[in-house]
Amino acid sequence: EAGVAQSPRYKIIEKRQSVAFWCNPISGHATLYWYQQILGQGPKLLIQFQNNGVVDDSQLPKDRFSAERLKGVDSTLKIQPAKLEDSAVYLCASSRGGADTDTQYFGPGTRLTVL
């Protein structure tokens, strides 16, 4: 079974530029998560999708971050415009359903550096 795929693995941009990250979850997984992991910290949930609907986006900075999951499969996370404090690893995860019992499987992440 293929794991969660993410691209790109690395991205370097100037502040005020835009950037987008892509995630392909494990086949058949209905729930998709985006996390932000700042250096030296644990991941923090940004947004959770159940199929193509948003379940939780309470910690997503909506003035600059947006995410979509068209057709309930792949997802894209966008930052526009980027700030220095957005430098982090962005992790995508998926689970079979959205229940508390479901294990989340993580992708390799995208390391973003904002200069």
Partner 1 sequence: AQTVTQSQPEMSVQEAETVTLSCTYDTSESDYYLFWYKQPPSRQMILVIRQEAYKQQNATENRFSVNFQKAAKSFSLKISDSQLGDAAMYFCAYRAQKLVFGQGTRLTINP
What b/e readout covers 80-99, taking b as 16+ CB neighbours within 10 angstroms? eebeeebbbbbbbbbbeebe
Least separation in angstroms between residue 64's CB and partner 1 is 21
User: What does the alpha-carbon distance between residue 36 and residue 67 come to, in Å, rounded to a whole number?
Assistant: 13
* Torsion over CA: 71, 72, 77, 78 (sign): positive
Judged by CB, which is closer to partner 1: 42, or 71? 42
- From 67, 88, 91, 114, residue interacting with partner 1 (rule: CB under 8 A): 91
Judged by CB, which is closer to partner 1: 45, or 73? 45
- From 86, 107, 112, 114, residue interacting with partner 1 (rule: CB under 8 A): 107
48 interacts with partner 1 by CB under 8 A: yes
Task: Determine how many CB atoms are found less than 10 A away from the CB of residue 46.
Answer: 20
3-state secondary structure of 44: strand
User: What does the alpha-carbon distance between residue 97 and residue 115 come to, in Å, rounded to a whole number?
Assistant: 38
Least separation in angstroms between residue 77's CB and partner 1 is 16
Q: What mask, x for binding partner 1 by CB under 8 A, covers residues 5 to 44?
A: ----------------------------x------xxxxx
Contact residues toward partner 1 (CB under 8 A) are 33, 40-45, 48, 56, 89, 91, 93, 100-101, 103-109, 111
